[in-house]
Each structure stands twice: as structure tokens, then as C-alpha cells.
Amino acid sequence: MTDTGLLRVELQCVLCGAAHRPTVDASVCPRHEGLTGILDVIAPGDGTRSGAGSDPLDRYRARLPLPPGPRRLPSGYLTATPLLPAPRLAADLGVAELLVKDESRNPTGSLKDRASALAVELAAHAGFTDVACASTGNAASSLAGACAAVGLTARIFVPASTPVGKLAQLAAFGARVMLVRGSYDDAYDLCEEAARAFGWYDRNCAVNPYLMEGKKTCGLEIADQLGDAGADWVSVAVGDGCTVAALGKGLAEMRLPRSPRLLAVQPAGAAPIARAWERGSEDIVPVPARTVADSVSVGAPRNAVKALRAVRASGGAFLTVTDDEILDAARMLGTLAGVFAEPGAAAGIAGVRRARAEGLIGPGDRVVHVVTGSGLKTATSVGAAFPEVAPTLDAVRAVVGLG
Amino acid sequence: MTDTGLLRVELQCVLCGAAHRPTVDASVCPRHEGLTGILDVIAPGDGTRSGAGSDPLDRYRARLPLPPGPRRLPSGYLTATPLLPAPRLAADLGVAELLVKDESRNPTGSLKDRASALAVELAAHAGFTDVACASTGNAASSLAGACAAVGLTARIFVPASTPVGKLAQLAAFGARVMLVRGSYDDAYDLCEEAARAFGWYDRNCAVNPYLMEGKKTCGLEIADQLGDAGADWVSVAVGDGCTVAALGKGLAEMRLPRSPRLLAVQPAGAAPIARAWERGSEDIVPVPARTVADSVSVGAPRNAVKALRAVRASGGAFLTVTDDEILDAARMLGTLAGVFAEPGAAAGIAGVRRARAEGLIGPGDRVVHVVTGSGLKTATSVGAAFPEVAPTLDAVRAVVGLG
């Protein structure tokens, strides 16, 4: 477990700046309370160069903490996800251009696949047989899928309230799941304790410094796809803070001439990072999380410091949106862009609408929105009230109203 | 609607060989009863050449009946789906190599997106405002998504028994849906009647000769990805027969030195084409379809002739599998390959197991299996019985059984 140097990166504590050895199982800086001493990965290489191919772990290999030697997951397990112009949604939002980065195309339907693929490469390389994570759903299913692809055991801790679609995915991949009686925060703490006790590799994205580098590939890819034209904003919903921080890191590493600002959007019922932003502080006051956007329903976020700094460094902003605005945004994404997003993955669109109303985003702006996960996983919560008809043309005519 | 020649293809009746004009709204050959005079598209160009890029409508444009001028769907709406080696599943099945073509990565989660994208390009070009289809689910959601992306109205006819996940997707895309009291076959007939009555573009894959060309891109892509190494078999489940016929057409056009044979698999409870194959006939005897594999639950298949001929031309075979074998195959795909397939999309794996047992497939064979659709859409039918634990390490210890 101590193959120092193999990963060819440096680790640095975000709180005190102390350097740490890049072992495969590196965790937090012990000088700080609990799990707050998050480490940051300082990657080598030239950020403006990309390799060939579509799989981001191949394409951006030079900038990732991948172990040496052949990959465990087949090349193509991850693929580049598309960045799709959505002119009708842009018109509805009142911006010049709206581009949807559709992360629901990932192997298990969410951006989390990028981090889990990296975790599985590291765990398998270091000889672990079990990989653990706590999750509101997407991180769990992504880990379960990647583990099944290479033959590792996924140990999953989810709140007992996790949507059925997400549990069904875990069952399909043969993951070992604990339904924890409690919140996501309870599941998280229990997972950390169990991983230490049983010697499981830790896939939690705040504590394991490498995993954010997997998510970073989404930012690298967006920058690659935007090219020199760049964009004004990238909007995304925020829960633990890892994803927005990783997007910011990836975008910054590519040094676009017109690098986008981050619009970091939290549901009003789970907005502890946005509240800290408003206070100009890095101190988080935990809240009881309550929102329809289960994938970002986090009351005690683990990566708030990195998130706050990434948004600030980009010249961006945090804001909050209501659950009604989130559900409306999901409808807009589906009907005006043809992308079926889970509520958490639509929150950023609600944020764009609000930022446009407040003048933060201008009518001439070019905006990227990241759909972090598929709406299929939460589909049972969507009511579909369609007309039932007898198999006759007259019955259809009555419904269509064409006489 | 009569822009003859624009599509630069020829149409030929599969029953009598008569030539037809390639209008955008071409349908069946009127010399035959009902809808049986299916037309085949004779594409121009050199099948062994591919264009650049990942979007199959761009990459294979020279071989597709696409209208001239700019695309309506953004480039990248479709992407190449990966062909992933699954060595653990190969070992379990007793074949040398098993490669999974993961069509669940498509924009709405199924292979049908390839046909719907083409339909939307044709309909928009010809000035239609509404596009109709009958579907067991996947064709409908793919049409609904593509229509939402370009601003057309999707008119959907589904059996009232369609799974909730598929209806939720239709709702998300704002499709106009009729839940038809009756079977898929009833919904199909009603859709044809309504499309004619109301002037809607017809997206049904058997009647509209162009749509199979969209699905054909899956075969072209598999051949591209296999390269000269080729493969021995491509397995896929069969309902109406369009998909297997289209795969065969695409593979044949690419003229691989080692071109795979088609393993066409039907559920025992919905196997009218396999029964005709056993009799050595092209005459279909309709059956009451009864199977857990809703996406291929078709009792009166519309494209049996093309399917039978494609399988024969490839040197392949039809066979049937039970619902238990299908559900077991879905488990194997999930736990041994990390791919979450709907039951219909796993049937081909059950077919490979059976063909291997019967000696049709040999231990040294290289086999491709096409996962035609995502398991997320039928997720509510999967029971997940995970242990619920209190948030304490002792509770975890008891479940893990590590002392």
C-alpha cells in the first residue's frame, strides 16, 4: 500500500499546505480535526495538451494519478460525453447560447463514473479486493458498475431513503449494500469507520484525494470541446462540493483564453456552502438537508473549502434555488433540450434562470450546464398522467382534438 | 413530400422486387396485403469507407438516406457506443472472447435512438410538425427525446401495460402519449391509422423503409470497432425483426474478412420468427406474446422477412430462451460485466449460453453481444432486498460477518 512515487503527483493539505506522500491509500491530513484536512493533488505535465481517443482516462492520462501499467477497466469504459447546443432552451432562458454537457451518457448514468473508474484502477493496482463508498446513489452505482467490470467487491452505504431506481442498479451489479437508518451524513461517517476497520479501499471523494482528479476530466473535456471560443459560465449543482471543485480544476488546467466562471447552485433546503459563501467564510454550519434533489441533498458537506475556492478563483458565484424551480428546470431540460435529468442535475438550469434575472448572467452570454445524472434513476417519482384510449381512431381523434 | 431523388437511395419491395421512388414519406409496396410489402433501401457508396467523428449520422453519412443540408440534431447527439471486452462473462459462458456493444449509452438509453435520430432529420426536412410511432417503450422514448431536441411533436402509441420508467421518460420529454387498451400489436395498428388520418410522419421501423438504415449504423460501428480481426457471432434479441435485420445489413456492408454470424434470440413466449425459421418458412403465425422481456414482446412481428433473410445470409441461426434464462442472463451481465441491461437486452446472452451448450458456438469463438437498452427503465421490476442497519460499526460487522 505504500508505493510512493508511482503515482507521480504531489499531495498538499488545503488547510495548512503540508506535503504528503502520494500512496494509493492516502487520506486526510492528520493535523486537523476529523476529516477536514482534505488533500489536493498537484498533477504534473502540461495542462494544455490532450492525448488521443475518447476515454478520458486515456486522453488525459498525463494529468491523472493513474498507476503505471495496463488499465484494469477496458478502454472505452468511459467515453467522452457530448456537449450539445440547446437553442430552444437558450431562448427560453434568455441567453445567447446554452450547451448541455450530458453526463447521463456515462456507463451507469452519472458523472460519478469518472471518479469510480479511477478508484477501481487504484484499488486493483494496490491489491485491494473491496472498495467502499457512502452515497446518495450515483457514486454508489458508479462504483458498483466499475467493480463488477473488473471483479472487485463494492461495499455501499446509502441512506435507507435512497430512490428505488438507484437501489435496483446496485442490485444489478451485485454490490454489497447497507441501507443505513439515518441521513447521508450518518451513512458517510459509518462508511469511513467501516473502511478503516475492515481494510476496504476508500472511494469517498472528499477523503480520497485522487478521486476528484477523475471528476476533473469532465472539466478538461468541456474545455477541449469549447476550444478557444470558450464560454462565460459553467453551471452545476453542488452537494458535497467535490464536483464543482473538480470542474473548476479541470477548466483552469486547460487555460482557455475565455475560461468560464462557475455558477455553483444549491437547493435552498440544502445550501450550507452557499450560506458560507454569502458570509464570506470557509466555515460551514451544517443544516438538516431537505430537498427534492436527492443527489445533492447534503447537510454537512465534506469538500466545502475546495468548492468555495474553486468558485472564487473562477470569478463565479454561489446561489440557491427552490425545489419548485428545480422541478421546473428538469421539465425545461426534457421538453426544450431532449435531455432527461434527475432533479439535482437540473438545479443548475434553475440557477441560470435566476442569475439571468438578477443580471449576473447577460443576454449575450455563452453558458454550459452540466447534467450530472440521468432522470431514469428517479423516474418513479415522476407522475405520468397520459390518456388511456380504446384501440379506435375515434378515441384518438377525441384526444387529439382534430375534429 | 415528394422530393424524389434528394435521398439518393433506391427502394425495393422485399416481396416482389418492385422499385419505388425514395420520397421522404415512402411506405410499403401497395401490391401486397396490409403492411407486408416492406421496402428495402439500397444505399449508394462504398461500404468499407467511414467518415470522421463519433456521431454515426456524420461518420456513415455517405451510406445513409439523410436529406441534404445541415443536420437538425446537433452533431454528437448520437455518439459511438463502446464495444467492451467482458473477460469474466466470457469465462462464465465458456467462450474465448465476449464483447458487449453497450447501446444503453445512447441519448435515451437504447439502440432505438439511432433510428429516431434519422426519422427526426427526415421529418423536419420535409416540413412535418408531428412524428408518430407505436412502441413497447424504447422506440417511443427515443422519438420523444429527439423530437424535444429539435422542437417537433412526438405522437406515441404504447400498450397501457408499458413500464413506469419508460412512461416517465415520455413525460419528461413532453411527448403526446396514448395508452392503448390492448397489446403492442393493437397500438401499432392504431398508430398507422392515426398517422395516415392526421398527416403525421410515420416513425414505425417496418413501414418506414429509412429507419432501419439508422439502426444499421450499429452494425457498421461494430464492424469498424472489430476491424480485420472480425468476430464469429453477434447475438441480439429479436422482437419485430428490424434490429437484427439492420445489424446484419450494416455488418454485411462493411465486408469484414471474418464477418460474424447472427445469433437471433427470441423469448420462448414470443417467438413467431424463430418458429418460422424452424419450419424453414417466411410465413409468420402470430402468437399471443407473453414474456418478461417487454422490449421484444411482439406476437405479430412486422419485419420477419428481412430478419429471416439477414440471419440466413450471415450463416447464423435463430433460437429461443426461457424467461428464467433471460433474467439469469441479465444478472450475469450486471455482476460479471458491469452492464445493466433490460431483460430484452440480456436475452442474447441467454442465447449464447444455449448455443454454446448445443455446440453451435465453440469454445474458441469471439462473440459480440448487443445490449439494446438500459435496465434503468425497467428497474422497478427488480426487487432489491438489502440489509438495513443502524449507523453503528457493530451493525455493519454483523452483516459483513467478519467477526
pLDDT digits (tens, 9 = 90+) for A144-192: 999 999 999 999 998 888 777 778 889 999 999 988 888 888 888 899 9
> Maximum distance among all alpha carbons in chain A?
76
Is A163 touching B (CB cutoff 8 A)? no
Find the residue in B nearest to A102 (Cα): B107
Q: What φ, ψ does residue B264 adopt, rounded to 5°?
A: -100, 115
CA dist B99 and B94 (Å) reads 13
Asked if A174's CB is within 8 angstroms of B334's CB, the reply is yes
Chains A & B: contacts with CB separation below 8 Å: 253
Asked if A387's CB is within 8 angstroms of B178's CB, the reply is yes
Asked if A388's CB is within 8 angstroms of B181's CB, the reply is yes
pLDDT for residue B269: 97
Asked if B85's CB is within 8 angstroms of A187's CB, the reply is no
Q: Which residues of A touch B84 (CB under 8 A)?
A: 74, 76-77, 149
Q: Are A53 and A59 spatial neighbours (Cβ–Cβ below 8 Å)?
A: yes
> Residue A385 burial by CB count (10 A; 0-12/13-18/19+): exposed, middle or buried?
exposed
**CA angle, corner A361, sides to A360 and A363, nearest 5?**
135
Q: Could you say which of B105, B377, B383 has the minimum Cβ distance to residue A79?
A: B105
pLDDT at residue B351 is higher than 80: yes
Is A396 touching B (CB cutoff 8 A)? yes
Asked if B79's CB is within 8 angstroms of A82's CB, the reply is yes
pLDDT at residue B5 is higher than 50: no
Distance, C-alpha B364 to centroid of its chain? 27
pLDDT at residue B1 is higher than 60: no
Q: Could you say which of B85, B173, B330 has the minimum Cβ distance to residue A338?
A: B173
Determine if residue B95 is left, alpha or beta; phi over 0 gives left, psi from -120 to 50 gives alpha, anything else beta: beta
Share of chain B above pLDDT 70, in %: 95
Is B126 touching A (CB cutoff 8 A)? no
Q: Are B122 and B210 spatial neighbours (Cβ–Cβ below 8 Å)?
A: yes
Asked if A336's CB is within 8 angstroms of B391's CB, the reply is no
Find the residue in A nearest to B110 (Cα): A105
Asked if A340's CB is within 8 angstroms of B145's CB, the reply is yes
Interface test with A, best of B386, B388, B394 (most A CBs within 10 A): B386
Asked if B387's CB is within 8 angstroms of A179's CB, the reply is yes
pLDDT for residue A4: 40
pLDDT for residue A182: 87
User: What parts of chain A have a pLDDT lower than 70?
Assistant: 1-6, 45-49, 379-384, 402-403
Nearest-CA distance from B181 to chain A in Å? 5
Q: Give the up-direction half-sphere exposure of residue A224: CA atoms within 13 A in the CB hemisphere.
A: 21
Q: Which residues of A touch B82 (CB under 8 A)?
A: 74, 76-77, 79
Q: Which residues of B touch A187 (CB under 8 A)?
A: 391
Q: Which residues of A touch B167 (CB under 8 A)?
A: 384, 386
Task: Please name the residue that has the C-alpha cell 422514448.
Answer: B141
Nearest to B130 by CA among B176, B172, B171: B176
Please tell me the pTM assigned to this model: 0.93
CA dist B393 and A26 (Å) reads 22
HEC string for chain B: CCCCCCCCCEEEECCCCCEECCCCCCCCCCCCCCCCCCEEEECCCCCCCCCCCCCHHHHCHHHCCCCCCCCCCCCCCCCCCCEEECHHHHHHHCCCEEEEEEHHHCCCCECHHHHHHHHHHHHHHCCCCEEEEECCCHHHHHHHHHHHHHCCEEEEEEECCCCHHHHHHHHHCCCEEEEECCCHHHHHHHHHHHHHHHCCEECCCCCCCCHHHHHHHHHHHHHHHHHHHCCCEEEEECCCCHHHHHHHHHHHHHCCCCCCEEEEEEEHHHCHHHHHHHHCCCCCCCCCCCCCCHHHCCCCCCCHHHHHHHHHHCCCEEEEECHHHHHHHHHHHHHHHCCCECHHHHHHHHHHHHHHHCCCCCCCCEEEEEECEEHHHHHHHCCCCCCEECCCHHHHHHHHCCC
CA dist B321 and A309 (Å) reads 57
Q: Which residues of A touch B79 (CB under 8 A)?
A: 79-82, 105
Averaged pLDDT, B185-214: 90
| Residue ranges of B 73-112 with Cβ closer than 8 A to chain A | 74, 76-77, 79-86, 88, 102, 105, 107-109
Computed over every residue of chain B, the mean pLDDT equals: 91
Nearest-CA distance from B73 to chain A in Å? 9
Q: Which residues of A touch B90 (CB under 8 A)?
A: none
Is B169 touching A (CB cutoff 8 A)? yes
What residues pair up with A219 in beta bridges, in sequence order? none
Asked if A190's CB is within 8 angstroms of B393's CB, the reply is yes
pLDDT at residue B291 is higher than 70: yes
Averaged pLDDT, B184-205: 90
pLDDT for residue A137: 83
Find the residue in B nearest to A113 (Cα): B338
Asked if A102's CB is within 8 angstroms of B396's CB, the reply is no
pLDDT tier for residue B2 given thresholds of 50, 70 and 90: very low
Give residues with Cβ within 8 angstroms of B295, minimum separation 6. B110, B136, B137, B138, B237, B239, B342, B343, B344, B345, B372, B373
Asked if A374's CB is within 8 angstroms of B376's CB, the reply is yes
Averaged pLDDT, B278-304: 93
Interface test with B, best of A57, A389, A393 (most B CBs within 10 A): A389
